[in-house]
Amino acid sequence: MYRAPLEDLRFVLHELLGDALLSALPAHAEYTPDLADAVLDEAARLAEEVIAPLRESGDREGAHWSPEGVTMPAGFKAAYRKFAEGGWVGLRADPGYGGQGVPIVLGAAVQELWAGANLAFKLGPMLTQGAIEALSLHGSPEQKARFLPKLISGEWSGTMNLTEPQAGSDLAAIRARALPEGDRYRIFGQKTFITYGEHDCTDNIIHMVLARIDGAPPGVRGISMFIVPKVGVRADGTLGERNEVRCLKVEDKLGIHASPTCVMQFGEEQGALGDLLGEANHGLEHMFVMMNAARLSVGLEGYAMAERAFQQALGWAHTRVQGKPPVAAPEGPAPIVHHPDVKRMLLTMKASVEAMRALALYAAFQLDLAEAAADAQVRSAARARGSLLIPIVKGWCTETGVEVTSLGVQVHGGMGYIEETGAAQSLRDARITPIYEGTTGIQANDLVGRKLGHDRGEAMTTLLAEATRELEALDVSGEAALVSLQRTALEGLQTLRLASESMLQALAGRPERAAAVSVPYLKLCGTALGGWLMTRSAAIASARLASGPGEVRRFLEGKRATACFYGAHILPQSLALARIVAEGATAVVETDAALL
């Protein structure tokens, strides 16, 4: 049974990030922590009572294709209706078109609840959010008026159509064509791996499609983005005739069976009618708006699934009686939570989740500042920091999420490998997240080549200097465990600083060497920055305990203990990752591919 992790979400938002500061931003003048709590309470209720109960049944039933379309598993359509009626699709969208305009960081916190409750359900609204953002930033006034209200209300859904069978992640190899017809275009081509490309939850699906206008330059410079609805939309917003868009099949996947992953065909005869979004030949830039939003969202899916796996494993460990542990415990056989190695695995899961949640929401908070801060310098600095953190959040949180869900199976023992416990589904569902929206290697190359290399490490250097000052300023005297944690966290930041300098040197001389160790570097970034935020969290929890714990004592003590475990068991991995960054490139670049 899934329970929304509200205590930790509130702690991160209110205590660690200080979200009350958002009310100083003109765009969020009405925001308060109390408002955030009310939103989280309602989201938790929907997640726990409506969305989560469909997780296992949706996994068993799956989405079904027929020549007429795709039918969602039992209960999904009704659950989506409640979701849309509650205004959740447009939670972050422009109030001028019916949205609620909440900050990005609150929207991210809420999205964790959808993903933890039922990842397959969450994916549809995630893609719609991306379509809303692309239209909001690049759509004409007429396009916004025609499409945004129905997308924001949830009456229609949206998709992102990038990948083609022959191209994969190489968008330069896209072949889909767009033929001008008056002020519109006829789209021809096939797209694959299209999440919620076809389903029966909404009356219309608005596809954002990358294609080449005939005569456009080759490579990524010649890609444009088009709005291609499943059903034509008249100027007044009403539905017209069915467009030439068809789902050829739904993929048979390892997990997320209830999420229809479609092969889409555009224009088998006359062509699918579409409208150019933004400027011609700038489609990739426009699509990155959707991709960056999706990368943050997929990153939080990693730790949302890890949270779900931890809850499952913890419940199992408290009820599964097996063996007598070599520590003080009830006489005779005891619940396996008393076994030291089981406790170690559970603490690894819990500490990893809390570190990932803190880093992801910190990144989302930077995106809010980048959008809405009154001071231009603040906006610029926050934009650089958010941009730097997005590939780390996406790559580190999803890779760690798979590790944590795998640990969840291990805690269950043999029963973890049996589907009835649900532990295996968490692992199966989580496995797609390091692949979605650019694999971990793609994220690492983006982090090193485009983010670290673009400003010669300035954004990273600034972040590490600020984090170091914060840790050095913490008053943890008299608490030996926190003193040790503070020291280890500072060592982690110093290790990351030296590794960043090493990566910059490699980029300047032999960039293939930087690429060879870019994933270990990305993981080092997540691990060390997670240590910074966990140490701050422990200090905050300790101060609150000293000033009067009240009814949250157990949570605060757990927060401090979990942070100390992170420092003792997870942060030391920074040293191994840093050594790979410094010395591991040669073993990759000097090995002939023919030897593999």
Q: Do residues 28 and 97 share a domain?
A: yes
Q: Are 173 and 145 part of one and the same domain?
A: no
- In whole angstroms, what is the distance from residue 278 CA to residue 155 CA? 24
Element (H, E) at 520: helix 518-547
Residues 570 and 465 in one domain: yes
Chain segment 448-474, per-residue pLDDT in tens: 999 999 899 999 999 999 999 999 999
Q: Let me know: does 210 contact 198? Beta carbons within 8 Å.
A: no
- pLDDT value for 580: 98
Q: Which string of DSSP letters, residue by residue, matches 482-508?
A: HHHHHHHHHHHHHHHHHHHHHHHHHHH
C-alpha to C-alpha distance for 408 and 311, rounded to whole angstroms = 9
Confidence of residue 546 (pLDDT cuts 50, 70, 90): confident
N-to-C CA span, the chain = 45
Residue 529 lies in a domain: yes
Task: Give yes or no: residues 34 and 174 share one domain.
Answer: no
Exposure of 434 in the CB half-sphere (CA atoms within 13 A): 19
- Residue whose tokens read 């050095």: 472
How far apart, in whole angstroms, are the C-alpha atoms of residue 119 and residue 303?
A: 11
Helix 480-509 and helix 458-473, axial crossing angle in degrees, nearest 10? 170
170 & 275 share domain: yes
Same domain (yes/no): 505, 480? yes
- Choose one of 153, 168, 197: the last residue of a domain: 153
Residues 211 and 120 in one domain: no
| Interval 548-576 mean pLDDT | 92
Is 78's pLDDT higher than 80? yes
Q: What average pLDDT does the segment 22-37 reach?
A: 96
Does the pLDDT of residue 550 top 70, yes or no?
no
Spatial contact of 138 and 177, defined as CB atoms under 8 Å apart: no
- Which has the closest alpha carbon to 89: 132, 50, 55? 132
pLDDT of residue 286: 83
Residues 454 and 575 in one domain: yes
Angle at 303 between CA 300 and CA 305, to 5 degrees: 105
CA distance 433 to 297: 10
Q: How far apart are CA 594 and CA 185, in angstroms?
A: 46
For 228-275, how does the pLDDT look when each residue is reduced to its tens digit (9 = 90+)?
999 999 988 899 999 999 999 999 999 999 999 999 999 999 999 999
What is the sign, positive or negative, of the torsion defined by CA atoms of 310, 315, 318, 322? negative
Q: Verify that 203 and 139 share a domain, yes or no.
A: no
Burial of 154 (0-12, 13-18, 19+ CB in 10 A): buried
| C-alpha pair distances (Å), 507 with each of 444, 511, 521 | 13, 4, 13
Mean pLDDT of 562-582: 98
Burial of 234 (0-12, 13-18, 19+ CB in 10 A): exposed
Q: What is the pLDDT of residues 335-364, one digit of tens each?
A: 999 999 999 999 999 999 999 999 999 999
Look at residue 385 and tell me if it is in a domain: no
User: Percent of the chain having pLDDT more than 70?
Assistant: 99
Coil/strand/helix, residue 254: coil
The CATH number covering residue 245 comes to: 2.40.110.20
Based on the domain organization, do 103 and 211 belong to the same domain? Answer: no
Say which amino acid occupies 255.
Answer: G
CATH number at residue 104: 1.10.540.10
Q: Residue 137 pLDDT more than 90?
A: yes
Is residue 305 situated within a structural domain? no
pLDDT above 90 as % of the chain: 90
Domain count, the chain: 3
Distances (CA, A) of 127 to 87, 123, 426, 516, 539: 16, 6, 21, 32, 38
Asked if the structure places residue 167 within a domain, the reply is yes
Among residues 153, 171, 194, which one ends one of the domains? 153
Q: Which two tokens stand for residue 402?
A: 């798979």
CA distance 31 to 225: 34
Amino acid (one-letter) located at 399: E
Residues 482 and 496 reside in one and the same domain = yes
Question: Per-residue pLDDT for 329 more than 70?
Answer: no
- DSSP H or E segment with residue 379: helix 376-412
| Residue 570 counted as domain residue | yes
Instruction: Say if residues 439 and 339 touch (Cβ distance below 8 Å).
Output: no
Range of the domain at 36: 6-153
Residue 213, beta-bridge partner list:
178
Among 248, 280, 312, residue at a domain's last position: 280
Per-residue pLDDT at 437 exceeds 70: yes
pLDDT at 292: 77
What's the mean pLDDT in 411-426? 97
Would you call 437 a catalytic residue per the annotation? yes
> Looking at the domain assignment, is residue 421 inside a domain?
no
Residues 161 and 123 in one domain: no
Per DSSP, 214 falls in state T
pLDDT in tens, 35-53: 999 999 999 999 999 999 9
How much is the mean pLDDT over the chain? 95
Which residue out of 399, 437, 470, 472 is catalytically annotated? 437
As a whole number, mean pLDDT of residues 378-389 equals 96
Amino acid at 113: L
Gap between the Cα atoms of 409 and 386, Å rounded:
34
Backbone dihedral angles phi then psi of residue 68, each to the nearest 5 degrees: -85, -15
pTM over 0.75: yes
C-alpha angle 221/224/230, rounded to 5°?
155
Res 320 pLDDT > 70? yes
What is the structure's pLDDT at 237? 86
Chain-centre distance of CA 593, in angstroms?
33
- Confidence grade of residue 492 (pLDDT, cut at 50, 70, 90): very high
Query: Among candidates 330, 358, 325, which has minimal Cα distance to 344?
Result: 325
Does 235 fall in a domain?
A: yes
pLDDT-derived band at 94, boundaries 50, 70, 90: very high
192: pLDDT strictly greater than 90: yes
Q: Is residue 456 part of a domain?
A: yes
Would you give the DSSP letter of residue 50?
A: I
Residue 221 DSSP code = G
**Is the per-residue pLDDT at 332 higher than 80?**
no
Average pLDDT over residues 582-595: 95
